[in-house]
Structure 1
């Protein structure tokens, strides 16, 4: 087991997030670990023992090498999708499994759910800045079914629906955006179609309508250039082959002969289903593949009941929750805990903190056009510690949105969270 210095530093950060259940900035890793060490009353031997246990988990995540093949496959996909931001929670899962607090079956189900979540969000171009806060919230221990907790949290944090996913997939230039993810997509589609073992290391992503169009392509396909610009890098125009160079930019009638003899089901299906290869063929195939990908990267259909119980606990300020009807209990800002009982008091507490800790940024916020209404048209005035009067009569969702925006402007969004009663 070899881990270089950069990876080890990231391991320590992820380990600390998993253990402290709080966001940890890279530059603060050492100071946070030192604090954690003393809080746990560790001696050197105990600290090294715990680090060794967790670094073994971490190595298993990096190399997708646990004893469970299904979990390894899901982790391998997560690694390809470049979402190691999930590692603190996966460390928690592996530790729970070793301690027999959770079964491998449940761990595998959760891992599949997480890969579906991040894959769909990638296709739908959902910003990933809220993932850190979501992961931190998942590291909290809860006396509930772990899978159900994860399902509820993900469904409440912008988990794209089948309709949204299919619509975006049709025109998402996956090859141009992420070549590795394009190949991953084709591999999981192929695995769903065949029981044969395919050596994907020997296959390449093939553009059916080639990136560089020959004169023959332009003659055979109406509006070939515009079709290629719009759909050339989408999933509908991609397949897997071991003969990429041989086929090059041959016209479809010639490529079709190669596809018909391929051991790749995805390619054989093209030759069987499509007489010509044009815009209509690409779109039709993309729709069919989108249906299959919806089943592979499945979205749970959990009935949202007991919503108050769902939301209890800590949430990052960027979490996309509907908090209508909920009540705040605590506001956490850069490891400082403040007891609050109303959404209005949460605004006052937050702006007081910004004023006391970063008065320069606070003054800039007052001149920000999108926030100036906070300090004008006052209906329910509250006085801050600096004497400024601020409006607080807003809905719960508006308060969270304001704090999220200001947190991002101050560069502390990963360090701001709140706890609901």
Structure 2
């Protein structure tokens, strides 16, 4: 490509990027979606959206198809937010999504259908929450306690979706005209206590911040703790409100548990319509491989690697050792001095994995020029070495992608596989875990997975309680998994300041893993000499997961509030 062609290409991408910044595609629905995504600060989607807009410019997608892609992406992101799924995987997902779509059949035909399949086929922490999971979280989550950008986004969508008569919700909220109103107030008066009945404390605690009890108003300061009848009939009350969602509220004679439960179901239906789950008949002819970047905090032990990609160049490999060697050879070819210094260093850190003497290691592979790297290590150790070497090279870990298959590929649902074993265990254990958390409900909407862990939600985005079941141990951990490393470390540091008090309250020593070289941090406690493979251990493991996840919730989580 000539210099002139490069410049023309850059100009075209700059124009597309401007559309993503300003919402200036000249299509009302698409522009509105872009502006909403910008308010939600979803910048990780832009590499993918640039390719979608390029296909539009080339006539391979029309504007309605592009709009579908944007709207489905919006649903995917919001459902994940409501279900409190970690955001640290999104950067990789959208960086590779266009390439993944093309890889299905080598073309950009049926792009939208392949896009739907790509998102719907995501698993575990990268999954597209289905209707059941999303609906349960939507009506039960304390929406008012979410950050400002998310809760006003929810109310704007509930107000404006499906009508051409849009209210200027965002501008009125930003200007301080609109605010979020608790219909049942935050502070109960005797009149409210009487209206709610004998269970007023439980009702107030459970429903106060849920979406069923929230609306928009320009007269929040006037309503204060007034009775429902007063809020409804006063001047500028619900009956006079020009806000559509208040019309529903104004039709009610009272505001008690029954009315909140009814509105909860109504809003659930609205949510499933607004943030719809897509469907597609597309299926790739060949089984698609799972992919993870070097930056992903995932345990890949037991997975078989078939190829890797570095800076968009793919190479087939037969083993993790071969990948390890090839990646280091690529880096060494780019700049020899970094790895050479490691090989001649006597420091007892990453340098211990490199040597100029092959006999220093039981097993090794040559990188080049008589430099050898230790290969007699497990998969996680190899990834850890690569992570630290990438830092020395100032290389982006998301540029290195692993494509994996399972040892039992094609037999995930067959009797006797580890997937069936895990699902059976979690089906058994979740009864104990949910019973232990019946008050807080951290695991109330968790279904038995086929993975070795489950995550419980406690109302703080990006942080989870996790129960892990392995072949030689069982573990409970508090997982700090936000997309921004500094936020995870800040939260971890805030908790570890109370380490002595926490361990005294629990009566045990915990494992505190700050994880300075990765994004996530963890606090964990485990028991050994139990195995998910041995059903006679299941009762002990299930009781452990139930008891200690609840103890973590009761003792550690309050330090994050």
TM-score by length of 2: 0.54
The alignment status of 1:282 with 2:247, answered yes or no, reads no
1:37 alignment partner in structure 2: none
Q: How does 1:214-363 map to 2 (within 5 A)?
A: 214-222=189-197, 223-257=199-233, 258-272=237-251, 274-303=252-281, 305-306=283-284, 308=286, 310-311=288-289, 316=293, 328-333=305-310, 338-342=315-319, 345-346=322-323
Deviation at 1:318, TM superposition (A): 7.1
Structure 1's 308 and 406: CA in aligned 2 closer, same or farther, altered over 3 A? farther
1:418 alignment partner in structure 2: 402
Structure 1's 335 and 72: CA in aligned 2 closer, same or farther, altered over 3 A? closer
Deviation readout 1:270-314 (Å, 9 max, x if unpaired): 222x433234433432232122111211112234633626559x7
Contact 2:307 2:315 in 1 (8 A): yes
How far apart in 1 are the matches of 2:157 and 2:381? Answer: 41
1:108 alignment partner in structure 2: 67
Structure 1's 387 and 71: CA in aligned 2 closer, same or farther, altered over 3 A? closer
2:286 counterpart SS class = helix
Q: How does 1:337-416 map to 2 (within 5 A)?
A: 338-342=315-319, 345-346=322-323, 386-387=373-374, 389-390=376-377, 413-416=397-400
2:153 alignment partner in structure 1: 184
1:298 counterpart SS class = coil
Deviation at 1:90, TM superposition (A): 1.2
Structure 1's 279 and 318: CA in aligned 2 closer, same or farther, altered over 3 A? farther
How far apart in 2 are the matches of 1:408 and 1:263? Answer: 56
Structure 1's 403 and 220: CA in aligned 2 closer, same or farther, altered over 3 A? farther
Structure 1's 253 and 402: CA in aligned 2 closer, same or farther, altered over 3 A? farther
Deviation readout 1:343-378 (Å, 9 max, x if unpaired): 67557767999999689765899xxxxxxxxxxxxx
Contact 2:113 2:282 in 1 (8 A): no
How far apart in 2 are the matches of 1:145 and 1:303? Answer: 11
Deviation at 1:145, TM superposition (A): 1.6
Q: Which has the higher helix share?
A: 1
How far apart in 2 are the matches of 1:123 and 1:416? Answer: 30
- Please point out which of 58, 66, 69 is paired with 1:99: 58
Deviation at 1:149, TM superposition (A): 2.1
Q: Which has the larger radius of gyration?
A: 2
How far apart in 1 are the matches of 2:257 and 2:364? Answer: 62
Deviation at 1:150, TM superposition (A): 1.4
1:146 alignment partner in structure 2: 111
Flag the structure with more relative contact order, 1 or 2, with Cα contacts below 8 A and sequence separation at least 6.
Answer: 1
How far apart in 2 are the matches of 1:74 and 1:288? Answer: 24
Deviation at 1:53, TM superposition (A): 2.9
TM-score by length of 1: 0.70
Contact 2:321 2:375 in 1 (8 A): no
Q: Which has the higher strand share?
A: 2
Instruction: Say what the alpha-carbon RMSD is for the aligned residues.
Output: 3.9
The alignment status of 1:125 with 2:101, answered yes or no, reads no
**Structure 1 gap ranges (5+):** 1-39, 366-380, 392-398
Contact 1:137 1:316 in 2 (8 A): no
Deviation at 1:123, TM superposition (A): 0.3
My pick for the range that moved more, 78-87 or 108-117, is: 78-87
Deviation at 1:317, TM superposition (A): 5.7
Deviation at 1:266, TM superposition (A): 1.3
Structure 1's 55 and 336: CA in aligned 2 closer, same or farther, altered over 3 A? closer
Structure 1's 225 and 364: CA in aligned 2 closer, same or farther, altered over 3 A? farther
How far apart in 1 are the matches of 2:226 and 2:275? Answer: 33
Contact 2:293 2:400 in 1 (8 A): yes
Deviation readout 1:32-79 (Å, 9 max, x if unpaired): xxxxxxxx5536xx5554433322222221221211111112112211
Deviation readout 1:127-184 (Å, 9 max, x if unpaired): 1111111112123372132112211221122000111111111222222212232222
Q: How does 1:51-130 map to 2 (within 5 A)?
A: 51-130=10-89
Deviation readout 1:5-51 (Å, 9 max, x if unpaired): xxxxxxxxxxxxxxxxxxxxxxxxxxxxxxxxxxx5536xx555443
Contact 2:294 2:387 in 1 (8 A): no
1:211 alignment partner in structure 2: 186
Deviation at 1:320, TM superposition (A): 11
Deviation at 1:268, TM superposition (A): 1.3
How far apart in 2 are the matches of 1:217 and 1:349? Answer: 69
